[in-house]
Amino acid sequence: MGDPASSSPPASGRRLVRAFLSDRVAIACSAYILIVILMALAAPLLVKLSGHGPLEFDQAAVDSNLGGLPLGWGGGISADHWFGVEPGNGRDIFARIVYGARVSMTIALLATALTSVLGVVFGLVAGYFGGRIDMVVSRVMEFLMAFPALIFMIAVLSALPAENRQALLVVVISFFGWPYLARIVRGQTMSLKQREFVESAKASGASSAQIIFKEILPNLSSTIIVMTTLAVPGYVGTEAGLSFLGVGVVPPTPSWGQMIASSVPWYAVDPAYFLFPGAFLFLLVLSFTVLGDRIKKIAESGEGRA
Amino acid sequence: MIRFLVNRLLGMAVVLFLVCLFTYVIFFVLSPDPAVQICGKNCTPEAIDQLRANLGLDRPFWAQFWTFLTGLFAGRTYGTGANAIECAAPCLGYSFQTSQPVTDMILQRLPVSATVAIGAAVLWLLAGVSAGLLSAVKEGKFADRFITGLTLTGMSIPNYVLALSLQFLLVVTLGWLPFPQAVPFSEDPAQWFANFLMPWIVLSIGAAAVYTRLTRANVIETLQENYVRTARAKGLSPGLVWRRHALRPALTPIVTIFGMDFAGLLGGALITETVFGLNGVGKLAADSITKNDQPVIMGVTLLAAFLVVVGNMVVDLLYTAIDPRVRVGSAT
C-alpha cells in the first residue's frame, strides 16, 4: 500500500469511479439494472407478497364470454393483480415478469461471462503468440462471424432436445459471441506486446503465462469492461428474441421474450399484455447500452489524460 | 488483382463448405429421425425402412453428405426405378411437410424478403447517414446530444416490441394504416406500400441508429486528420473540404457494414416477417422450425450463409475501389 510506484493505477481507478458517480445518467441506468437483478433474486419473495405464483391460473380475472379477455382496465390491473393478467388463463403478469427477469438476467450474465473468458483467452493467445496459432484462431473467428448466427442458433436449438434449455442457450449464444471481443483483445495484445514493460519482463525471465496474465491482461481491463457491458444488452435481446421465436426458454417457464410472443394475437385488444414485458425488456437493454456507452466515454477520457 | 480474387473465392468456398457440413451434422445427426416423422402415426417398420432407403438415410453419413453436396451443383435423383424423382440443381431436397422442392419454396419467398430488405436499407441509409452527418457538424450542441439519445433508444428497442407498439399505435389507435394484408403491387400500389411501411420502419430503426453513430464517429475523426487540416490551411472552402477530403474516407466503413447487414437481411428477417405475417424467407424459416422441417431449415440457413459470404466479398472488392489506401495485395 505504501509503495509509491504502485499508487498510480488505483488513483486512476478512483478517478474513474468518481467520474462515474457524478454521471447521473449512468447512475440511473445502474439503478434500474440493480432493481431488475434484485427482482430476479427476490422473485419467490415478491410473488408471496403479491399473492400469485407465475404458473397459477385465475379464471376469475378473465371474461370467458369475451374469449378470455382480462376483466377491468389496462389488462386487468387491480390491487390483486398489480400488472394485470394474461388473457385466456389469467396468469399474473407481475409474477411472470419477476420470474422472467430471472431467466433474462441469468442467461445474459452467464453468456457474457462465458464469452468474456473465451474472448479474452483466445484474443490474448492469438495476439501474443502470433504465427500459426494466430492464423488458426483468426480463421475460426472469421468463420463464426460470417455465419448467419441467428438462423443457425434457431436451427440448433430446434434440433436439440428441450431439456435444460437455459444452459443450452448460454452455450449457443456464447459460441457465436466470443469472436467480437477476441478480435479487439487480439489487436490490443499485438500492440501491447511491443511495449517496453513486456520486453523487460521477458528479459527478466518471466514465462509467457506470467507476461500474458500479469503484464498484458491488466492493461486490457478497461477495454474488457467496456466491451462486456456493451455485450450484455445484445445477449438480453438475443435470449428474448429466441424465446420470442419459440426456441428459447420452454413454457411454462416465463421469459420476457416469450411473454411478448404470446401477446402477439392479443395486441389489438389487450395492449397491456405486451406493454409490460416490452417496457421491462426495452428499459433493461437501454440501461445496459447507455451504461456501456458512458463507461466507454469515461475510460476514453482517462486514456486521453494519461 | 486476379490472385486476390482467386484467394477470396477459395476462402468463400471453404466457409460455405464448412457451413454446409456444420448444418448437415446438426440436422442429420442430432435431430429425430425424419423418416418416422414423415411416416406419421399408422406406420410399420417396413414403411419406415422403405422411406429411409428412398431418402438415402440408410447410408453412412459421409455418403449422405456427399450426395447432398453434389445435389447442390448437379442435382440428384431420389428413389429408384419408376418411383424416381428428379431434383434439378441446385437441389436442396424436398420439404418433409409439403413435399415441395425446397429450392422452389425459397425462390417463391425471396421477392418478399428482397422487398423488405431493399426498402429498409434505403430508409436506414438515408436516415442514418444524414443524422450522423448532422450530429458530427453540430458536435456537442443540442442537436448532437438529441440525436445521440435517439440512437441509444433506437439501438435498444427490440424489433418485435417496436413492431407491436407501432401496429397498436398506427393501426389500432390512430387508424392511419390499414391492417396488414398481402396485396401484390400491380393490384393496389397504395395498399402494397402501406403494407410494407411498418416492416421497413421496424427493420430500419436499429440499423439507422448504428449507422448514425458510425457516421458521426468517422466524420469527427476524419476532420481531425492532418490532410483535412492541410486542405483547410491551403484555403479550400469548407464545402470543398467536406466533399473532397472528409466525406469519402468517413463513409468508407459504412460500405463495409452495409454489405453485411443488407446481405443478412436478404436471407430473411425472421422476427419482423413473422410479426407482420409477411411470406418471406424469414417466415419460411420460422414456420419450418416449428414444424421441424429439416430440409427447409437447412436450405434457408445455407442461403443466408451464402448471401453473407457473397456480401462480404462484394464489400471487399468495393472497398479496394473506394478507398485508395487499401492496396489489393494486402487486403487478403
Domains of chain B: 2-101 (no CATH), 103-327 (1.10.3720.10)
Q: Which residue stretches of chain A are H helix? A: 8-21, 24-41, 43-50, 73-76, 93-129, 131-146, 149-159, 165-192, 196-203, 208-210, 221-244, 256-263, 272-305
Q: Retrieve residue A160's grid coordinates.
A: 436439440
pLDDT tens for A18-40 read 877 888 888 999 999 999 999 88
Residues in chain A: 306
Compare A59 and B305 and report the one with higher pLDDT. Answer: B305
Closest-CA residue of chain A to B302: A148
Q: Are A220 and A119 in contact, with CB atoms under 8 Å apart?
A: no
Whole-number pLDDT of residue B267? 74
Comparing CA positions, the residue from B312, B145, B190 lying closest to residue A290 is B145
Whole-number pLDDT of residue B98? 78
Query: Mean pLDDT throughout A57-86?
Result: 71
Whole-number pLDDT of residue B332? 39
Chain mean pLDDT for chain A = 81
Smallest Cα distance from B126 to chain A, Å: 24
Task: With a cut of 90, say whether residue A111 has pLDDT above it.
Answer: yes
Smallest Cα distance from B215 to chain A, Å: 16
Complex-level ipTM: 0.77
Closest-CA residue of chain B to A271: B168
| Beta strand B76-78 pairing with A62-63 | unpaired
Measure CB to CB from residue A152 to each of B164, B290, B301 and give the nearest one. B301
Place of cell 413492431: B163
Measure CB to CB from residue B301 to each of A155, A257, A290 and give the nearest one. A155
Whole-number pLDDT of residue B40? 66
Closest-CA residue of chain B to A288: B156
Whole-number pLDDT of residue A9? 42
Distance CA A126, CA A293 (A): 27
pLDDT tens for A172-213 read 889 988 998 998 898 888 888 888 888 888 888 888 888 888
A291 interfacial to chain B (CB closer than 8 Å): no
| DSSP-assigned letter for residue A70 | E
Q: Retrieve residue B330's grid coordinates.
A: 494486402
Place of cell 441446385: B90
Q: Are A303 and A244 in contact, with CB atoms under 8 Å apart?
A: no
CB neighbour class for A158 (10 Å; exposed up to 12, middle 13-18, buried from 19): buried
Other beta carbons within 10 angstroms of residue B137's beta carbon come to 15
Measure CB to CB from residue B300 to each of A151, A271, A281 and give the nearest one. A151
A136 interfacial to chain B (CB closer than 8 Å): no
Confidence of residue A130 (pLDDT cuts 50, 70, 90): confident
Smallest Cα distance from B26 to chain A, Å: 7
DSSP for B3-33 reads: HHHHHHHHHHHHHHHHHHHHHHHIIIIISPP
pLDDT tens, N- to C-terminus, chain B (332 residues) = 677 778 778 877 887 888 788 877 877 666 666 666 666 666 777 777 777 777 667 777 788 788 888 878 777 776 655 666 667 667 777 777 777 888 888 888 888 888 889 999 999 999 999 999 888 888 888 888 899 889 988 888 888 888 888 888 888 778 777 776 667 777 777 777 888 888 899 999 988 998 998 888 888 888 887 887 888 788 877 777 777 777 777 777 788 788 878 888 887 788 888 888 888 888 888 888 777 777 888 888 888 888 888 887 787 777 777 766 655 444 43
Percent with pLDDT over 70 in chain A? 90
Whole-number pLDDT of residue B180? 66
Distance CA B130, CA B143 (A): 13
Whole-number pLDDT of residue A4? 41
B172 interfacial to chain A (CB closer than 8 Å): yes
Distance CA B79, CA B85 (A): 7
Distance CA B309, CA B297 (A): 18
Task: Using the CB atoms, write b or e for A192-209: b if 16+ within 10 Å.
Answer: bbeeeebeebeeeeeeee
Cβ–Cβ of B304/A142 closer than 8 Å? no
Cβ–Cβ of A147/B305 closer than 8 Å? yes
> Which residues have CB under 8 Å from A234's CB, separation 6+?
A177
Q: Retrieve residue A282's grid coordinates.
A: 426495452
* Helix pair A93-129, A165-192: axis angle to 10 deg: 30
Cβ–Cβ of A159/B165 closer than 8 Å? no
